[in-house]
Structure 1
Amino acid sequence: MVFGRSLTETRLISSANYVRTELPTRLAHRIRDMQTLPYVVVTNPHISQVYELYYKAFESLRRVREINTLDDNERFCKKISETLQEHLTVIPKLAMGVIECRDLMKAEDMDKFMNTILRSRISRRVIAEQHLALTETFNSPWHFPDSPTTTGASHEFVGEVFLKCNAKEVVERCGEEVRALASVAYGPSTSLPSIKLSGHLDATFPYILSHLEYIIGELLRNSIQATVEKQKMGGTASALPPIEVTICEAPQHVIIRVSDQGGGIPREILPYLWAFSKGPRSNERLENLHHVPKMAATLQEVRVSQDLPESHPTSTGNSSATRHLHDTSLSSLSSRPPNLRLGMGLPLGRVYAEYWAGSLEVHSLEGYGVDAFLQISKLGNKNEQLTMRASMDAV
């Protein structure tokens, strides 16, 4: 956001050089992490492929010379775009690797490794895609503050950061998407629970939309699936209880509570709720992951309809219709079948939430339902939360 305000050629080149030095540094730390894993784990074909991808990217990016001109920046942007696309295979490969190696390492060590590598992956993609977005903004007429073509809507984004993210609109948009997915998964004749909103519906905060949409989308998806399947098991034809979403705005943060009456989380699943490797459904998850060659971990990758506008708005209006001008790897992906369960929604959602100094908690009432609490920092001045800065920088 600092680079993006009053964007100039000097600031854009400064941003490029920041990304140029940060990406290989962060990749080097993750390569080092993988080198310290037990040899039998690193030789797993999936983890080995991720290692090779990281090493190739590191070797490529560390050779990029200092960026001094806009032409240098264009070439650099092309290189990081290609790298982002290549690395869409990382999440499913990592997930398959840690499940296959679940008996070769302590579960807590494996989950710590996975959390660190995913959070670092988010950090790299954020700074890379933020720079791509700033470059695209710089090359567009609306980045000049006094330009007659500049509209109010163009100021709603600083790169990938949406300055006026409205919780109510995000929940409504995600709700529509998830209901469409559920309709495909269960058939159009299946009744679906409604989504009932209450609380501070005008709350806004700066955030990266795709991150918030992913977390909210996964929470709503879990709630809808649980509610529908509870009714199917019960064999009743009564109306489904609504999913209640409460938005609470405090001075420093916004809390979004998602409550359902889907019967709660089974007792045998609960201890493994945040685990990437262990759990009673590991084999099923492993089988499903084989059907997901790429994964950006966004709501858009499971979209039923691909008809949302991709261009930047040219007039002010409802921000729910606002879509960033920049088509990044966070907004397009190969489709994933809507009924395919990967067991990664909650742990990955928590990584996203904690990355921006937030939190995600789930409280289950077995036999009744689940309350999920998502806390989001609304100050817009939080630095990225990397796992123990000292350990991240250690060689």
Structure 2
Amino acid sequence: MAAKKLCESFSKSFIEEVQRWGCMKQTGVSLRYMMEFGSDPSHRNLLISAQFLHKELPIRIARRAIELESLPYSLSEKPAVLKVRDWYLDSYRDLRSFPEIKDTNDEKDFTQMIKAIKVRHNNVVPMMALGVQQLKKDMDPKIVYEDLDEIDRFLDRFYMSRIGIRMLIGQHVELHNPNPPPHCVGYIHTKMSPLEVARTASEDARAICLREYGSAPNVNIYGDPIFTFPYVPTHLHLMVFELVKNSLRAVQERFMDSDKVAPPIRIIVAGGVEDVTIKVSDEGGGIPRSGLSKIFTYLYSTAKNPMDEDSDLVTANAVTMAGYGYGLPISRLYARYFGGDLQIISMEGYGTDAYLHLSRLGDSQEPLS
């Protein structure tokens, strides 16, 4: 059915070309490579970067467009998923129809085009979430959720690929910034203080908690304030924000009607030789063991997707990841993208510890699939 839709909208030769490009080998890059290459954003290096993206992006985008065609349980036919597929095919076509990049003028035009592609894909996550919602609504209640781990695995691959595509585009675009902030190479901060990022992310999460509940537990942060390492601050902010927000919510709801003072969230930042680890601990009552396997799935969210069928994309732009329960699985992907990981350890009846491991060496290649 979905394949038919593709044939209706696009020519046979175009579909064959997408399939051919989707089978080509992707080329992963490491944080260290991006940092070293970007530290000299000369015309020559920007030209090399654009030529690399001109070949690499269509491969990555074609691969995802093909996968969007053959999802289980007719997920490919859901209107929201068809919309995402069309965004990917439009971006593929834009990239493939862009002529060879020979000089600085070509490179500038190319940069403007990929900037527009990044904007086109801004709402991919809520739109896919909407597709999953549409699927759940139409699904036979007899289907066992365990059978749906295929969809989880697809979404992990899909969102991981999206992180990579956005990182490559964003990094290239940011290298054009004539006045980069000190110690910044594109998106990468070469002397990032994890303590500082954790503090900002915690303040942002507390502001949301205050807005929702009228009060918020304190967050205490421990670690070396002068310790720094190269990383992408926006990625770290997103992950810590998510973990702290979950902890705040758990503690707030557990102690809301209690006469006890809500215990603080504790964040510990430790720098090792290979890893930087950030531990977020709360006394929010923990998660039962039977529920732990569900926290990294995209299918169990109890929260309402802020972008349901009735809402329009304009309001959805203001949405954070809070709305559709994707925060934890997507945070884990951000951690893994540069060779780290996220683990959740829980004591039911007491609280939860989240361990965010980040690779300090920056030399692991992007995980491509």
- The reply to whether TM is greater than 0.5 is yes
Distance 2:349 2:73 in 1: 44
2:193 paired with 1:171? no
Query: Aligned-pair distance for 1:20?
Result: 1.1
Partner-residue secondary structure (3-state), 2:342? strand
2:71 paired with 1:37? yes
Query: Aligned-pair distance for 1:268?
Result: 5.8
Structure 1 residues 123 and 261: alpha-carbon distance in aligned structure 2, compared to 1, 3 A threshold:
same
Partner-residue secondary structure (3-state), 2:238? helix
2:161 paired with 1:120? yes
Query: Aligned-pair distance for 1:39?
Result: 7.6
2:46 paired with 1:24? no
Scaled by the length of structure 1, what TM-score is found?
A: 0.77
Number of matched pairs? 327
Return 5+ residue gaps in structure 1 as ranges: 144-152, 296-300, 302-332, 387-391
Equivalent in the alignment of 2:173? 132
Alignment match of 1:255 (pick from 242, 265, 277): 277
Partner-residue secondary structure (3-state), 2:364? coil
Give the residue type in structure 2 aligned to 1:359: D
Structure 1 residues 51 and 212: alpha-carbon distance in aligned structure 2, compared to 1, 3 A threshold:
same
Equivalent in the alignment of 1:71? 105
Alignment match of 2:330 (pick from 335, 348, 354): 348
Distance 1:84 1:161 in 2: 18
Distance 1:23 1:86 in 2: 14
Scaled by the length of structure 2, what TM-score is found?
A: 0.83
Query: Aligned-pair distance for 1:38?
Result: 4.1
Give the residue type in structure 2 aligned to 1:118: Y
2:192 paired with 1:210? no
Alignment match of 1:157 (pick from 157, 173, 184): 184
Identity over the aligned pairs, expressed in percent? 31
Query: Aligned-pair distance for 1:88?
Result: 1.1
2:342 paired with 1:384? no
Superposed CA RMSD in Å reads 2.4
Alignment match of 1:10 (pick from 28, 44, 52): 44
Q: In the TM superposition, what whole-angstrom CA distance separates every residue of 1:65-91 from its partner, at most 9, and x where no partner exists?
A: 121222212211111111111111210
Query: Aligned-pair distance for 1:3?
Result: 2.5
Distance 1:292 1:364 in 2: 36
Q: Is the 8 A contact 1:363 1:370 kept in 2?
A: yes
Distance 1:117 1:213 in 2: 22
Greater relative contact order (Cα 8 A, min sep 6): structure 1 or 2? 1
Q: In the TM superposition, what whole-angstrom CA distance separates every residue of 1:113-167 from its partner, at most 9, and x where no partner exists?
A: 000000001110110010001122xxx2x68xxxxxxxxx63x011111111111
Distance 1:38 1:107 in 2: 8
Distance 2:311 2:208 in 1: 17
Distance 2:155 2:149 in 1: 10
Q: Is the 8 A contact 1:3 1:12 kept in 2?
A: no
Distance 2:236 2:313 in 1: 20
Query: Aligned-pair distance for 1:244?
Result: 0.7
Query: Aligned-pair distance for 1:25?
Result: 0.7
Give the residue type in structure 2 aligned to 1:132: V
Equivalent in the alignment of 1:48? 82
Partner-residue secondary structure (3-state), 2:353? strand
